[in-house]
Chain A
């Protein structure tokens, strides 16, 4: 009887601990400013945090159970990444395009980490997504500036080339004329 009481107390304690743990995970996940998804081995989303809801525009209720490929533009590239995860345990900084609920395309950077159970079985993966729109815009702006500057420099080079052609052509003509004058002067001297 005493044994039973001890077991029941331990069980009660374990349940409380589990409840606390669940609350901790929920609160921590909600706090994280980074979008995180949990995916099962078949590629189905089983959990997303608040930041991922905000980024994708989907509520967790809408998206849980769907295939992760559904939210990415580059389906084939994602399949290659999935294979890489199994081989390398974790992959970082993979650029993908997220398709939001409103069909908006957001460039993201994905880092993925494999999940294993105690027996070492593959049970899915965690995925962190960061919005790189600003970086991309900055990069795009810089590229545009570089291109513009390159075009300007190319124009200057063309102008200089044109100028060179004109001046060199003129110099050659002068030399030609000078030779002709010399020739004519020679002829004139002979006639005299």
Chain B
């Protein structure tokens, strides 16, 4: 199992990272696999995680409980390998997550308008992660763009794709426009001090 060796090694590094994510962050992705692939594939993922020494029983995950961020990242990397998914697939999965998120439905009070959502976004971040920080950096209604900065979130490059997909959906929820796009303009894995995401709409 040559391919598994790097993953096993990555697992060790990921599990040593401090920081937690709400169970829901993991469960929404599982819901996506169930939707796009099927129940059998969810089991495949569980088996793979077990085989790699990181067993996670998805049925036992509670949406509001905190779980190591390493679990979430490792699960995403395993998904890529099992289903031969590209970053685009991972982006789509993350873009799907808010659609099935109970937290999103519950925290709708933060999403009254695009500007208010922008301002309230740090609170929303804290509902999902117990570490790192989201800074609503710039909002320009006239030029139709907003910039978010994520600080102290140097976990794994795949998380840049995940965050971008998730942020895009949140923006799609609060903007009237049908054409919304996102671009990572700064990346900690490319030497920047933080991750930066530019959201544009028409």
Check if A15 is an interface residue, CB within 8 A of chain B: yes
Check if A103 is an interface residue, CB within 8 A of chain B: no
**A100 to B: closest C-beta gap in Å:** 20
CB within 8 Å for A124 and B108 given contacts A60-B99, A61-B35 = yes
On chain B, the residues within 8 Å of A15 by CB distance are: 62, 64-65
**Quick check: B62 and A61 within 8 Å, CB to CB?**
no
Which of the residues B35, B62, B63, B108 comes within 8 Å of A40, measured between beta carbons? B108
Chain B interface: which of A42-50, A89-97, A149-157, A183-191?
A: A42-50
**Quick check: B99 and A40 within 8 Å, CB to CB?**
no
Contact with A along B144-174 (1 / 0, CB 8 A): 0000000000000000000000000100111
A22–B65 alpha-carbon span in the complex (Å): 13
**Quick check: A121 and B175 within 8 Å, CB to CB?**
no
**Quick check: A121 and B109 within 8 Å, CB to CB?**
yes
A121–B102 alpha-carbon span in the complex (Å): 20
Check if B100 is an interface residue, CB within 8 A of chain A: yes
Check if B176 is an interface residue, CB within 8 A of chain A: yes
Interface residues of A in 114-139 (CB under 8 A from B): 117, 121-124
**Quick check: A19 and B108 within 8 Å, CB to CB?**
no
**Quick check: A61 and B100 within 8 Å, CB to CB?**
yes
Interface of B is mostly: helix
On chain B, the residues within 8 Å of A41 by CB distance are: 111-113
Interface residues of A in 55-80 (CB under 8 A from B): 59-61, 64-65, 67
A19–B104 alpha-carbon span in the complex (Å): 15
**B172 to A: closest C-beta gap in Å:** 6
On chain A, the residues within 8 Å of B109 by CB distance are: 117, 121, 123
Check if B131 is an interface residue, CB within 8 A of chain A: no
On chain A, the residues within 8 Å of B178 by CB distance are: 67
**Quick check: A44 and B62 within 8 Å, CB to CB?**
no
Check if B126 is an interface residue, CB within 8 A of chain A: no
A59–B96 alpha-carbon span in the complex (Å): 13
Check if B105 is an interface residue, CB within 8 A of chain A: yes
Contact with B along A14-27 (1 / 0, CB 8 A): 01001100100000
Which of the residues A19, A46, A61, A117 comes within 8 Å of B173, measured between beta carbons? A46
A65–B98 alpha-carbon span in the complex (Å): 9
On chain A, the residues within 8 Å of B169 by CB distance are: 65
A18–B172 alpha-carbon span in the complex (Å): 27
**B64 to A: closest C-beta gap in Å:** 5
A-B pairs, 3 with minimum CB distance: A64-B99, A117-B109, A15-B64
| Interface residues of A, Cβ cutoff 8 Å to B | 15, 18-19, 22, 38, 40-44, 46-47, 59-61, 64-65, 67, 117, 121-124
| Interface residues of B, Cβ cutoff 8 Å to A | 35, 62-65, 96, 98-100, 102, 104-105, 108-109, 111-113, 169, 172-176, 178
